[in-house]
Amino acid sequence: MTASARKIIHVDCDAFYASVEMRDHPEWRDIALAIGGRPETRGVIATCNYLARQYGIHSAMASATALRLCPQLLIVRPDMARYRAASQQIHAIYQAFTERIEPLSLDEAYLDVSGVTLCQGSATRMATAIRTRIREEVGITASAGIAPNKFLAKVASDWNKPDGQFVVRPQDVAAFVAALPVARFFGVGKVTAARLKALGIHHGADLAAADPLLLTQEFGRFGERLHQLAHGIDKREVEPERDRKSVSVEETYARDLPDLAACRAELPELLAQLKSRISRAGEPPLRALVVKVKFADFSQTTVEHAASTLMLDAFGRLLETGYARGQGRAVRLLGLGVRLGNSDARQLEFEWEED
């Protein structure tokens, strides 16, 4: 099947945890609401409703910071059992349309509907029908993106949030990607976006025209990946019932971290981000902690240790080991991650998520 013949839908529930809470507690629908840990226990926001987002609150933010931004914010602890039950209902709806489903977390998934004859074979109509059923049967809203590949479908699902959808037709791919801000590209965080803009790369058109060698020198293999995406190329298949093997976060720093103390100072923020991503994945069992260190000369190392809980001190010890391997070199990137599943699971290449 050619890339242009593929029909991929990315469905992403709107503020999933918060939406389930507002469904079950109607009195919370018109207030700023967040799901996360208490500020006195150094809690972190997992997600929040759209009213809270108007105050600048977002996932991975410290709960104490969120309360400073919005003193009337209601923070409730997550109820994973209810969220999993809602997720199972949603997954059953997907199965009515296709067997090719790749869950990314409890609240989002890719669906390959290529060749499906429902809704007259229209992926756009299927996405509308799926969203309607989620609203009527689960009681929450979802947004969707429809496109010829996973990258574009995921971008499109965020285009008309909340409770909307957007389609990127095969004939529109080139123009759509050309106008796309670099910050919208998969894996591009604030630091990478700033580095791209410093190179004069602001949109997909700039990225597509950039020298591939320069991108590789600046960003390694991720630079090659960005250049492909800038041409609308994403050959990844939808992988049904994929078991996620790892969760990670990483940050590339605008200025190299000069010593171990500077590296240690970055760990709490990275750990907060990691906790948020693990929560979105449904809090699966952990089997190992991993620290990645990339030095100023682009050499890198990873260190890991078996563990079943997240501990800042444990990450600190792994960081110390990794930093020592650099023999005092400055650090340009730090990453924290966890391996998931049972301890007897076979070793797999770690899937680092770009900053």
Helix (H, G, I), strand (E, B) or coil at 49: coil
Instruction: Please tell me the distance from the alpha carbon of residue 149 to that of residue 144, in angstroms, as a whole number.
Output: 13
> What phi and psi values does residue 261 have, to the nearest 5 degrees?
-60, -40
Instruction: Please tell me the distance from the alpha carbon of residue 173 to that of residue 83, in angstroms, as a whole number.
Output: 35
Rounded to 10 deg, the angle between the 221-230 and 212-219 helix axes is 140
Count of CB atoms situated within 10 Å of the CB of 138: 21
End-to-end Cα separation, the chain, in angstroms = 33
Instruction: Please tell me the distance from the alpha carbon of residue 49 to that of residue 4, in angstroms, as a whole number.
Output: 36
Which residues carry a binding-site annotation for Mg(2+)? 12, 107
Helix (H, G, I), strand (E, B) or coil at 299: coil
Dihedral angle, C-alpha 273, 279, 281, 284, nearest 10 °: 120
25, 74 in Cβ contact below 8 A? no
* Adjacent-strand bridge partners of 334: 251, 293
Instruction: Please tell me the distance from the alpha carbon of residue 129 to that of residue 125, in angstroms, as a whole number.
Output: 6
Quote the tokens at residue 153: 């479908």
Which residues carry a binding-site annotation? 12, 107
* Adjacent-strand bridge partners of 250: 335
User: Which one is catalytic: 21, 40, 102, 108?
Assistant: 108
* E strand intervals along 54-123: 74-76, 101-105, 108-112
Q: Give the DSSP letter string of 171-184.
A: GGHHHHHHTSBGGG
Rounded to 10 deg, the angle between the 260-280 and 312-324 helix axes is 130
Helix (H, G, I), strand (E, B) or coil at 267: helix
Quote the tokens at residue 73: 């914010």
Annotation marks residue 136 as catalytic:
no
Instruction: Please tell me the distance from the alpha carbon of residue 181 to that of residue 48, in angstroms, as a whole number.
Output: 25
Positions marked catalytic: 108
